[in-house]
Structure 1
Amino acid sequence: MVLYQQDQLTVRRLELDDAQLLVRWLSDPVVLEFYEGRDRPHDHALVMEHFYRGDDDEEVRCIVEFEEEAIGYIQFYPLDDEDREEYGYQDVVGDIYGMDQFIGEPRFWNRGVGTKLVQATVQYLFREKEAAKVIMDPQTWNTRALRVYDKCRFNRVKLLESHEWHEGEMRDCWLIERNQPLDS
């Protein structure tokens, strides 16, 4: 099921047949350096556990297509009370959505596709889900991702020290946010 399209970009719901794409992307060390870590390659069983577990009905998992080719993955979800408290959003009125994504086909890196994906998803979350904010927590060393988020008008809110396990160590992340535009 297609959720949204913009130009040559299509975001559709994850299907069972997509598992082999996730296995291929998440066993590629070039991709894993930026998502999950090279010490955590995914086989079929881990993909099924990580992406097809049915325990979070509010998390929307999707495949990203560009020029009609599956090239990556995106997920988004409303923050629960525990996450709101952890990030300091317990007093914010309205839904706050978190999102995570990666482009699994490196030949599509550095072509502006990530920027288009993030912009289209943020627009979808504000318009269709009526999000008050959209947040992410990229690792501080991931300068390519941070440049994309800067272009998409995300603001760095605070440093999350030792926030995420990646390649054998706890890594610092930035809490970044984008607020609902006033004219929406």
Structure 2
Amino acid sequence: MLFQNGNLKVRKLKEKDKYFLVKWLSDLTVLEFYEGRDNPFDLDKVNEVFYVSKDDTVKCIVEYEDNEIGYIQYYQLDDETKKEYGYLDDNIYGIDQFIGEVKYWNKGFGTLLVTSMVKYLIEHKQADRVVMDPQMKNTRALKCYKKCGFKKIRTLPKHELHEGEYQDCWLIEYKN
């Protein structure tokens, strides 16, 4: 287990978790905000994206009361990304996450998850900043991130391909 905050646990991805990822990433309600409804995942795609890739991203499952409810990943920003975002030599981590079980939406689990992960990265990875790049139109997520202490830094025009169109995103950060 990576960390626990009350009944919320975050642990590294296991082989058995691929079936949760397929379920969540083929749900059109989830895909509307993460990956896109035109980009559903099957078992082969989950294996390729989450289990075969050789990057340094730490991929994790989110549990609440021992039920798998979502996914979160973190990674240290490389020099190219830091330059793109306008950062110098800080120890900066990025995170991406989603609550895959829709019945857990709008109940504070996203806020609990993000604040817990930020605390973990600051305390265990000595992160100076934690950044994300949510789409501007994802108002529910942006509201959550604001509650977690993230600040909008700047726009990232046409930053992410989502449902056939490049979407504008915000660069947001939590500064330690």
* TM, length-normalised to structure 1: 0.94
- Equivalent AA in structure 1 for residue 21 of structure 2: L
Runs of 4+ more than 6 Å apart: none
Aligned counterpart, 2:123: 127
* Number of residues of Structure 1 aligned to a counterpart in Structure 2: 176
Aligned residue among 66, 69, 77 for 2:67: 69
* 1:18-29 paired onto structure 2 within 5 Å: 18-29=17-28
Instruction: Give CA deviations for 1:81-124 in whole Å, capped at 9, x if unaligned.
Output: 111111111x2x33100000000000000000000000000000
Gaps of 5+ in 2: none
The CA RMSD over aligned residues, in Å, is: 0.7
Matched, 1:176 2:175: no
Distance (Å, rounded) in 2 between the aligned partners of 1:140 and 1:107: 24
Distance (Å, rounded) in 2 between the aligned partners of 1:28 and 1:178: 30
Aligned residue among 131, 156, 162 for 1:160: 156
- Equivalent AA in structure 2 for residue 88 of structure 1: G
Aligned residue among 95, 106, 124 for 2:102: 106
Distance (Å, rounded) in 1 between the aligned partners of 2:64 and 2:141: 18
Gaps of 5+ in 1: none
Distance (Å, rounded) in 2 between the aligned partners of 1:111 and 1:98: 24
Distance (Å, rounded) in 2 between the aligned partners of 1:4 and 1:100: 17
Q: CA deviation at 1:68?
A: 1.2
